[in-house]
Amino acid sequence: MTPGERPRVRGLVVVLGLVALLGAACRAPGEPPAHPGVGVYRDIIRRETDSTHTALATARILVSAAEKQGVPATYARVTLRSAVGDLQHVVVDLDQIAAPARARVPQARLRAIAHGDALLLARLQHHWGERALQKQVLNRVTHDADEIDNTLATRLQI
């Protein structure tokens, strides 16, 4: 190696080292930080609360419409599958972030709602024709959405 090539090689090594360091520090797209600051936590928890509430509202509208006018089973199953997926993503995200001390209990409750309702909606997805199960889902998602609106959303905004 000639003396003129050494600075180029060193520069290349430094650049490659920086790229490797930055790559190791990056999270996968969409993955929340494990220990977010207060502002980032508020944004994340607002997103997760909204996602949960939207999935529950979707299920409530679907079951209410089915009661009143009927809904094709295929449409119901696809809609429920989407709501279940949204709730499962909320659970995964909540498992990845450490809540600040004051938000631990309400975050755990939001996770429990998302997890439990995902299981219930998945059950309804596979047993769409069961009227009693539809009624149970309607009651549960209505109750859980109200709890999110009236209690958890406020308690989670630290």
Q: For residue 69, give the CATH number of its domain.
A: 1.20.120
Say if 4 falls within a structural domain: no
Domain for residue 17, yes or no? no
14 occurs within a structural domain: no
Per-residue model confidence as pLDDT tens digits over 83-102:
999 999 999 999 999 999 99
Nearest Cα residue to 90 out of 57, 126, 55? 55
Single pTM value for the model: 0.78
Measure the CA–CA gap between 124 and 139, rounded to whole angstroms. Answer: 13
The tokens of 156 are what? 């989670």
Domain assignment of residue 151, yes or no? yes
Domain count, the chain: 1
Residue with tokens 């997760």: 48
DSSP secondary structure letters along 3-71:
TTHHHHHHHHHHHHHHHHHHHHHPPPTTPPPSS--HHHHHHHHHHHHHHHHHHHHHHHHHHHHHHHH--
Domain hosting 116: range is 34-156
- 100: in domain: yes
Please indicate, yes or no, if residue 140 is contained in any of the structural domains.
yes
Q: Provide, for the chain, the percentages of residues in helix, strand and coil under a 3-state DSSP scheme, each rounded to the nearest 5.
A: 80, 0, 20
Residue 106 lies in a domain: yes
Residue 26 within any structural domain of the chain: no
pLDDT in tens, 97-124: 999 999 999 999 999 999 999 999 999 9
User: For the segment 9-36, what is each residue's pLDDT rounded down to a tens digit?
Assistant: 555 444 444 444 444 333 444 566 777 7
Give the up-direction half-sphere exposure of residue 89: CA atoms within 13 A in the CB hemisphere: 19
